[in-house]
């Protein structure tokens, strides 16, 4: 690795200049001619590549800081101010090395998109099936797609199928497509083997189109102009004008050279790369790898943010949002029975059910004679009871089940039914949860200067609109294909500097097209990571706010250093034009300016990330874990309220209300009391105010009040619920459910997402 760095042209350039400058100084003790030759050699070593950089700029119809450096180097060589020129060469070579670290452009590599493309297909023949190259498939052929395989070409289903379409649409849940439905290449068969009739060749199919779009977008991405070049565009004409004026008015060309020496853009060449390199380092320590300095500069200019939904704003995987049961069943036991059967399945929904059961503390039991109907249901015997879990078709649904179906439609959730011995026992509502740190991230981005946010997704409009409303995004584009995503991102880029954030294969083309593409790397597709300019290395969307804040700070410091350096250079140029600074003295003054702006730029490196104290972080982690464990206690409250609506089940309703009251007393109230005693004082000390937890404490008091009211209702009862109690009891229980839902969500968004060290503390810079 060290040898490779030494072979770097920028490193070799710097070493050569140092050798020439040092050698000339030593040779000066013995021979003026030898020292002048070495210093002249040092100038030429830098002048030749610098002239090539300027030539390349001219070919792109622009000029920048390099042109002023070339003029200064050439002028010192012409008038014999060789030591001054060698010092300038040293600064130019040092700056080029720093800029190489910061701005070495990482080409967008899209091989992951190509590697994922299916290479073979199973074509149906008279003798059975044969495996052939995917390019050999023609429209009209019939192919078989086995379980877990990627659909190789576009076609029409010959039978019902269960598909994972997340690669194209971002939808986290599996979808069922009926016979005769069109199916696109790139989706994954999530059920059993299915037959399909081919409608297009592989080269003309949907997935091939995505690859082409990504390659085209990457090729068309415009290069980002350096901050140094922006400043040099006005500074260069000023410096040249002053140098010519000093020469013509005094008749001494050395004065003009002295002006150019003091005007050498070393503050641009050194300070700007240091600020950008420091920003890259800080972003990396905050969990965001930015591929190059140009991307960081561009991220600091972003005014519009376009976001994918599934896997970016949401967790990207289904989760159990609620457990609803028949009045005679208990939510905890229904969830445990369902998970006991599903623990033997690798289905994404099954994993979510098992995960929810374990988080709630439910004990999973061994299931016997487990069998699975792909895309429909799984069943097995748990403690002698036949449990069936899945998409069941119920002929005559009871009132509570019809209520579940309505609630699912209102909540935009899917339903997994649970049967016990052919009788409906409960239902699990599945949703793709919004990340708990998403709302706070949007607020931080707005404070950082992101004035416009767009939710751009392949998901359905109603799902996208609901998500956008919850996190404060006002512009929504749903049902978007990869091609539509590119068009929207390009439109936004034309209006203002735009960043795109995504994690899926379908996001890769849009990430390549954006001014800055940001991918979530921990669970995101390799294709998205390769197409992006920056990668969030873990699963936290609030790292995006960290990156934008750091990029803003780095760019602000770079511009500030450049302007301070150029202002000081203008003053020095005035002294040089008046004959008060000879070229060598001008070079020394320029070095002093360099030191000043470099120290200013180093402030970006010296800024430390604010970390939560370990005791506070530990408390947040503990109470966040308890929130997961209390999910079934909260479900018991809503279950009791629903049971009061079931006519003819007064005894079951009484049992449910008693269970809810016991869950409140035994689990929820002790949790809230511990928060008041341990967590909230620690948070108040962290923020140095009680205001941040005052609202939460008031909600605790309301939860306690309604729990006492529930207890008084039960003390009035003698084994059953009186008719006159039902209305107030139902209102009390639904009130508790609403407050608990709001309270838990507020705590998770405001506090618990800080548990994993985010590097950001409210009120800190």
The distance from CA 349 to its chain's CA centroid, rounded to whole angstroms, is 24
Q: Is 744 exposed, middle or buried (0-12, 13-18, 19+ CB in 10 A)?
A: middle
d(CA 633, CA 217): 50
d(CA 140, CA 154): 11
d(CA 259, CA 244): 9
The residue ranges of DSSP E strands in 291-399, in sequence order, are 304-307, 314-325, 367-373, 377-382, 385-390
> How far lies 283's CA from each of 96, 200, 393, 451, 542, in Å?
22, 45, 52, 22, 12
| 521 within 8 A of 502, measured Cβ to Cβ | no
d(CA 163, CA 191): 7
3-state secondary structure at position 161: strand
> How far lies 519's CA from each of 98, 214, 504, 575, in Å?
26, 14, 9, 51
The distance from CA 237 to its chain's CA centroid, rounded to whole angstroms, is 42
| 541 within 8 A of 520, measured Cβ to Cβ | yes
Across-strand partners of 517?
500
d(CA 495, CA 499): 12
Across-strand partners of 518?
501, 534
| 498 within 8 A of 302, measured Cβ to Cβ | yes
| 170 within 8 A of 459, measured Cβ to Cβ | yes
d(CA 667, CA 4): 61
d(CA 112, CA 110): 5
Q: Tally Cβ neighbours within 10 Å of residue 7.
A: 9
Query: Catalytic residue positions?
Result: 308
| 428 within 8 A of 416, measured Cβ to Cβ | yes
DSSP 328: T
Q: Measuring CA to CA, which residue among 525, 528, 522 is closest to residue 514?
A: 528
> How far lies 528's CA from each of 108, 211, 285, 288, 687, in Å?
10, 12, 21, 15, 38
- 674-711 core/surface letters (b: 16 or more CB in 10 A; e: else): ebeeebbebbeebeeeeebbeebeebbeebeebbeebe
| 159 within 8 A of 181, measured Cβ to Cβ | no
Across-strand partners of 322?
429
Phi, psi of 91 (to 5 degrees): -65, -40
Q: Measuring CA to CA, which residue among 104, 267, 102, 286 is closest to residue 601?
A: 267
């Amino acid at each position: 690795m060290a040898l490779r760095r030494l072979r770097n042209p920028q490193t070799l350039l710097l070493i050569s200049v140092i050798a020439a400058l040092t050698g000339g100084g030593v040779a000066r003790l013995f021979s003026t001619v030898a020292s002048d030759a070495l210093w002249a050699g040092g100038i030429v070593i830098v002048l030749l590549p610098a002239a090539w950089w300027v030539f390349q700029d001219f070919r792109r119809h622009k000029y920048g800081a390099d042109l002023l450096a070339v003029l200064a180097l050439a002028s010192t060589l012409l008038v014999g101010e060789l030591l001054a020129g060698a010092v300038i060469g040293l600064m130019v070579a040092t700056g080029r090395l720093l800029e190489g670290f910061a701005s070495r452009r990482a080409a967008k590599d899209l091989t992951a998109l190509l590697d994922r493309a299916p290479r073979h297909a199973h074509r149906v023949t008279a003798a059975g099936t044969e495996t052939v190259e995917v390019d050999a498939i023609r429209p009209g052929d019939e192919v078989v797609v086995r379980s877990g395989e990627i659909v190789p070409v576009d076609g029409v289903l010959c039978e019902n199928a269960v598909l994972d379409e997340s690669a194209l649409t971002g939808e986290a849940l599996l979808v069922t497509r009926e016979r005769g439905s069109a199916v696109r290449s790139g989706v994954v068969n999530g059920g059993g083997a299915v037959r399909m009739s081919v409608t297009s060749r592989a080269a003309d199919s949907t997935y091939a189109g995505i690859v082409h779009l990504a390659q085209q977008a990457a090729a068309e991405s415009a290069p980002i102009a350096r901050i140094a070049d922006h400043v040099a565009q006005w500074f260069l004409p000023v410096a040249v004008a002053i140098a010519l004026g000093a020469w013509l008015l005094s008749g001494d060309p050395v004065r003009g050279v002295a002006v150019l020496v003091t005007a050498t853009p070393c503050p641009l060449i050194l300070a700007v790369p240091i600020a950008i390199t420091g920003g890259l380092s800080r972003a990396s320590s905050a969990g965001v790898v930015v591929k190059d300095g140009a991307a960081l500069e561009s991220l600091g200019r972003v005014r519009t943010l376009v976001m994918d939904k599934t896997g970016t704003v949401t967790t990207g995987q289904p989760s159990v949002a609620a457990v609803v049961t028949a009045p005679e069943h208990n939510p905890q036991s229904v969830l445990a029975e369902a998970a006991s059967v599903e623990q033997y399945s690798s289905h994404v929904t099954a994993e979510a059910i098992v995960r929810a059961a374990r988080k709630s503390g439910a004990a999973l039991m061994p299931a016997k004679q487990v069998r699975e109907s792909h895309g429909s249901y799984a069943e097995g015997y748990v403690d002698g009871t036949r449990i069936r879990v899945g998409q069941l078709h119920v002929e005559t649904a009871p009132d509570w089940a019809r209520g579940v179906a309505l609630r699912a439609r209102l909540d935009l959730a899917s339903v997994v039914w649970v049967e016990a011995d052919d009788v409906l026992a409960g239902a699990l509502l599945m949703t793709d949860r919004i990340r708990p740190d998403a709302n706070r991230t949007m607020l931080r981005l707005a404070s950082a200067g992101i004035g416009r946010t767009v939710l751009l997704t392949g998901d359905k409009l109603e799902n996208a609109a609901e998500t956008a409303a919850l996190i404060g995004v006002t512009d929504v584009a749903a049902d978007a294909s990869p091609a539509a995503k590119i068009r929207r991102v390009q439109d936004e880029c034309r209006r203002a500097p735009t960043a795109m954030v995504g994690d899926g294969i379908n996001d890769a083309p849009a990430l390549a097209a954006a001014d800055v593409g940001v991918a979530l790397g921990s669970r995101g597709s390799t294709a998205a990571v390769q197409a992006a300019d920056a990668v969030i290395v873990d699963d936290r969307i609030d790292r995006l706010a960290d990156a934008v804040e750091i990029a803003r700070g780095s760019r602000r410091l770079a511009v500030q250093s450049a302007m301070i350096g150029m202002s000081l250079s203008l003053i020095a140029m005035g002294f040089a034009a008046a004959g008060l600074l000879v070229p060598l003295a001008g070079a020394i003054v320029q070095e002093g300016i360099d030191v000043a702006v470099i120290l200013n730029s180093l402030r970006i490196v010296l800024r430390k990330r604010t970390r939560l104290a370990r005791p506070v972080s530990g408390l947040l982690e503990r109470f966040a874990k308890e929130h997961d464990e209390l999910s079934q206690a909260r479900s018991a409250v809503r279950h009791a309220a629903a049971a009061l609506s079931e006519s003819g089940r007064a005894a079951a309703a009484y049992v449910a209300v008693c269970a809810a009251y016991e869950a409140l007393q035994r689990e929820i109230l002790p949790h809230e009391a511990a928060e008041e005693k341990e967590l909230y004082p620690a948070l108040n000390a962290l923020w140095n105010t009680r205001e941040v937890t005052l609202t939460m404490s008031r909600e605790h008091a309301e939860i306690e009040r309604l729990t006492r009211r529930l207890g008084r209702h039960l003390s009035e009862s003698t084994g059953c619920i009186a008719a006159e109690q039902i209305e107030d009891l139902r209102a009390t229980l639904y009130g508790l459910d609403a407050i608990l839902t709001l309270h838990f969500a507020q705590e998770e968004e405001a506090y618990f997402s800080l548990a994993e060290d985010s590097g950001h503390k409210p009120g800190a810079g």
